[in-house]
Each structure stands twice: as structure tokens, then as C-alpha cells.
């Protein structure tokens, strides 16, 4: 991309990006709002994560730059403008989404002036790689928030998608432990209570057939 020659040209690129990311308001996620009234959109999710980063940063087991975590919260799902939201419990869909999201990152961040394009892409890549303390905390928040929404809405999306208790534990607890062990401790209890209340889809082995063999 050619760097704009004037500050006006630079501003025009930035405004074009601002208008483009407005499309994220139309990307619906699988989970519902806490009151269960409707599906959450990606902008609401990103805002919620940024607020959670500001509020919960003290629970990171390592020192973190809270503002940098907030940057990740606001940037990480912009690729879903092109790629759409993918259910984390559908492994085949997740694998297919990875290439689409990389292409989306190229296009969307490429709309910006080159210095900002590089900076935004670096933040997105850092979140995806999940290596730094900030990325691990941001990824933990990204798993914590939808679990809280699902629990508050009495498992509406979990049941709609056929998601079981074991799926939620196995996919989320490792990331929660890595980013903030106290989140994992809290959520382990939340999930156990949610299972007791019947918020999950039935497990085909343990819930429907207590002897541990599948029904014929």
C-alpha cells in the first residue's frame, strides 16, 4: 500500500476504516445477551471484553499492560466482518475459518495507513498466537465472557447448538488456566452448577446412558 502524501489523504483512509468496521455491528454471535432476549453482536462482545480487561486486569498471574489487552479486545474480532462468527465447539468450522480470517486481516487492516495497518495487524497476530501474557489474558477473557452470558441466559445457546458440559470444560478451562487461573476456578464451579440445572445439551454417554455405553 502506498503511504498517503498528505494528512488529508491519511485521514480519508482512517475514516474509510471507521466506516468499514461499522459492519461489525451486524455480525451476530452464537450466544445470547445475559437476559436471553436476543443474540449478541460482535461489537457488544468486543466492548464487553475491553471493559472486563479494565476491571479484571488485577487477576492476571503476571504483570500485564491493561491498555494493550484492551487493544486486543477491540481488534481481535474485526476479521469477522468478512469471515463471520465461528462456533468454537465445531472443530471443522474452526479449521476452515482460520484461512478466511487471515485473508480478512489482510484486507481490513490493509485499508489503514501503512504504519497503523502494521500496528493493528501485529496486535491481531499477537492475540491469535497467544504467547504473551497480554494475549493469554485477553484470550481468557474471550472465553470467560460467553460462558458468563450462556450461564446467565440459562444455557440458551449451549442447548441450541448441542453443546455439552464436557465440551465447554475441555475447550475453555485450559485457556482460562493459562490466562488467569482464578477464572478457571470460578468457571469450574459455574459449569458444575449449570450442569446441575440442565443448561447443557445431554451428553450422549454420561447423561443419556449412565452405564457408559452408547444406546443402539
The per-residue pLDDT for range 127-165, each reduced to its tens digit, is 999 999 999 999 999 999 999 999 999 999 999 999 999
Q: Does residue 105 lie within any of the structural domains?
A: yes
Residue 185 has pLDDT above 50, yes or no: yes
pLDDT-based confidence at residue 212 (cuts at 50, 70, 90) = very low
Classify residue 201: in a domain, yes or no. Answer: no
Separation between Cα atoms, residue 87 and residue 96, nearest integer Å: 11
pLDDT exceeds cutoff 70 at 125: yes
Structure confidence at residue 166 as a pLDDT band (50, 70, 90): very high
Q: DSSP per residue over 9-38, as a string?
A: HHHHHHHHHHHHHGGGGG-EEEEEPTTSSS
Closest CA to 20 of 81, 85, 91, 94: 81
How far is the C-alpha of 184 from the C-alpha of 169, rounded, in Å? 9
Q: pLDDT tens-digit profile of 33-63? A: 999 999 999 999 999 999 999 999 999 999 9
Q: Is residue 98 part of a domain?
A: yes
**Residue 206, in any domain of the structure:** no
Is a pLDDT exceeding 60 seen at residue 181? yes
* Inside any domain, residue 20: yes
Q: What is the mean pLDDT of residues 86-95?
A: 80
Domain count, the chain: 1
Domain that holds residue 53: 7-196
* Structural domain includes residue 213: no
Q: How many CB atoms lie within 10 A of CB 18?
A: 10
Could you tell me which of 124, 142, 151, 152 has the C-alpha nearest to residue 178?
142
pLDDT band of residue 91 (cuts 50, 70, 90) is confident
Digit-coded pLDDT (tens) for 195-208 = 999 999 997 754 44
Going by pLDDT thresholds of 50, 70 and 90, the confidence category of residue 3 is low
pLDDT tens sequence across 100-116: 999 999 999 999 999 99
Question: Which H or E run contains 147?
Answer: helix 133-152
Considering the chain, what is the average pLDDT of its residues? 92
Backbone angles phi, psi at 20, to 5 degrees: -65, -45
The residue-averaged pLDDT of 171-178 equals 98
pLDDT at 211 over 50: no
In a domain, 162, yes or no: yes
Q: What's the per-residue H, E or C state across 54-123?
A: HHHHHHCCCCCCHHHHHHHHHHCCCCHHHHCCCCCCCHHHHHHHHHHHHHHHHHHHCCCCHHHHHHHHHH
Q: What is the CATH number of the domain that holds 130?
A: 1.10.3210.10
Q: Is residue 93 part of a domain?
A: yes
Amino acid at each position: 500500500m502506498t503511504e498517503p502524501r498528505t494528512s488529508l489523504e491519511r485521514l480519508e483512509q482512517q475514516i474509510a476504516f471507521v466506516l468499514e468496521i461499522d459492519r461489525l455491528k451486524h455480525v451476530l454471535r452464537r450466544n445470547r445477551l445475559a437476559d436471553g432476549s436476543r443474540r449478541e453482536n460482535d461489537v457488544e462482545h468486543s466492548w464487553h471484553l475491553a471493559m472486563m480487561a479494565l476491571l479484571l486486569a488485577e487477576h492476571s498471574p503476571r504483570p500485564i499492560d491493561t491498555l494493550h489487552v484492551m487493544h486486543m479486545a477491540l481488534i481481535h474480532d474485526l476479521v469477522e466482518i468478512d469471515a463471520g462468527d465461528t462456533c468454537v465447539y465445531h472443530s471443522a468450522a474452526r479449521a476452515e475459518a482460520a484461512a478466511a480470517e487471515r485473508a480478512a486481516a489482510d484486507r481490513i487492516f490493509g485499508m489503514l495507513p501503512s504504519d497503523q495497518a502494521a500496528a493493528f495487524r501485529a496486535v491481531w497476530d499477537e492475540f491469535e498466537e497467544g504467547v504473551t501474557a497480554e494475549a493469554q489474558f485477553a484470550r481468557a477473557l474471550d472465553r470467560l465472557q460467553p460462558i458468563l452470558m450462556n450461564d446467565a441466559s440459562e444455557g440458551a445457546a449451549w442447548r441450541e447448538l448441542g453443546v455439552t458440559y464436557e465440551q465447554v470444560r475441555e475447550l475453555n478451562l485450559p485457556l482460562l488456566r493459562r490466562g488467569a487461573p482464578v477464572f478457571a476456578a470460578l468457571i469450574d464451579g459455574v459449569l458444575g452448577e449449570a450442569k446441575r440445572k440442565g443448561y447443557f445439551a445431554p451428553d450422549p454417554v454420561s447423561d443419556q446412558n449412565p452405564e457408559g455405553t452408547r444406546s443402539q
